[in-house]
Structure 1
Amino acid sequence: MRDVIEALADMPLLAILRGITPEEALPVGEALVRQGILILEVPLNSPQPFQSIRLLADRFGGEAIMGGGAIMGGGAIVGAGTVLRPDDVARVADAGGQIVVSPNFEPAVVAATRRAGLISVPGVFTPTEAFAALDAGAHALKIFPGDAITPKVVGALRAVLPGGTGVVVTGGVTVDNLAGFMDAGANGVGIGSALYRPGNTVQDVEAQAGRFVASMQRWKEMRR
Structure 2
Amino acid sequence: MQQKNEALSKVLRGQPVIPVVQIANLAHAVPMAKALVAGGLPAIEITLRTNDALDAIRLVASEVEGAIVGAGTVLNPKQFKEAEAAGSQFIVSPGTTVELLNEAKDHMVPYLPGATTPSEIMSMVEEGYSILKFFPAEQSGGISFLKSLSSPISGVAFCPTGGITPQSAPDYLSLPNVLCVGGSWITPNDLMDAEDWDGIERLAREAHGLATV
Give the TM-score range, shorter chain: 0.7 to 0.9
Return closer, same or farther for 1:96/1:207 CA change in 2, 3 Å cut-off: same
After TM superposition, list the pairs within 5 Å mapping 1:39-54 onto structure 2.
39-54=43-58
- Which of 76, 79, 88 aligns to 1:88? It is 79
Deviations 1:57-103 (A, max 9, x none): 1234xxxxxxxxxxxx23x4312111111111111111111211111
Residue 35 of structure 1 pairs with residue 39 of structure 2: yes
- Does residue 162 of structure 2 align to residue 158 of structure 1? no
1:6 aligned residue: 10
Contact 2:23–2:52 under 8 Å retained in 1: no
- TM-score relative to the length of structure 1: 0.82
State the alpha-carbon separation in 2 of the partners of residues 166 and 39 from structure 1. Answer: 18
Equivalent in the alignment of 2:163: 172
The amino acid across from 1:210 in the alignment is: R
- Contact 2:114–2:133 at 8 Å: present in 1 too? yes
Q: State whether structure 2 residue 181 is matched by structure 1 residue 189.
A: yes
Structure 1 residue 28: Cα displacement:
0.5
Aligned-residue identity in percent: 25
Find 1:208's aligned residue among 187, 195, 203.
203
Structure 1: tracts of 5 or more residues without a match: 61-72, 220-224
Larger relative contact order, structure 1 or 2 (CA cutoff 8 Å, min sep 6): 2
Partners of 1:123 and 1:142 within 8 A in 2: yes
The TM-score with structure 2 as length reference comes to 0.86
Alpha-carbon distance between aligned partners in 2 of 1:137 and 1:48, rounded to the nearest angstrom: 33
Q: Does the Cα contact within 8 Å between 1:124 and 1:142 map onto a contact in 2?
A: yes
Write the distance in 2 (CA, Å) between the matches of 1:190 and 1:141: 12
Letter in 1 for 2:44: L
Aligned residues: 203
**Counterpart contact for 2:20–2:46, Cα < 8 Å:** yes
* Larger strand fraction of residues: 1
1:82-161 equivalence runs, <5 A? 82-138=73-129, 140-148=131-139, 149-161=141-153
Deviations 1:7-34 (CA, angstroms, capped at 9, x unpaired): 3323121111123432111100010011
1:218 is matched by which residue type in structure 2?
T
Offset of residue 198 of structure 1 = 3.3
- Structure 2: 5+ residue stretches without partners: none
